[in-house]
Amino acid sequence: MLKTFHNAGIEVIVDVAYNHTAEGNHLGLTLCFRGIGNAVYYRVKADEPRYYMDYSGTGSTLKVQHQHRLQLIMESLRYWVQDMHIDGFRFDLASSLARGLHEIDRLGGFFDMIRQDPVLSQVKLIAEP
């Protein structure tokens, strides 16, 4: 499909949601990282770690500022570009990817890694506010 689109001069942009998973809030089903390490993968409240910090509007927010979450995302993005030949990405709720502890940091780890990456810095990037 991508070869056909590219042969027709059509670029392919993938809509990605790295800010949350399908598990939702503390009442949701265990479908993804919650079963592996809830407080390791998600932003949780310090005083009650069973409850999530919800910056995504879906009930939970992935802890993107952690180096292993960043690595997981970066490897996933590189795969889409290098192996699948995707032309770019539209990041769902990009502001949640740029959060430090609570505030948005345009120079945070996620955007730093994208800017410095020799593969990802060359593709089209769209950030939903």
Q: Which residues are catalytic?
A: 92, 128
* Pick from 41, 37, 85: nearest CA to 63: 41
| Residue ranges of E strands in the chain | 13-16, 88-91, 124-127
55, 68, 62, 66: which is closest to 23 by C-alpha?
A: 62
The answer to whether 11 touches 124, Cβ cutoff 8 Å, is: yes
- Strand partners for 89: 14, 125
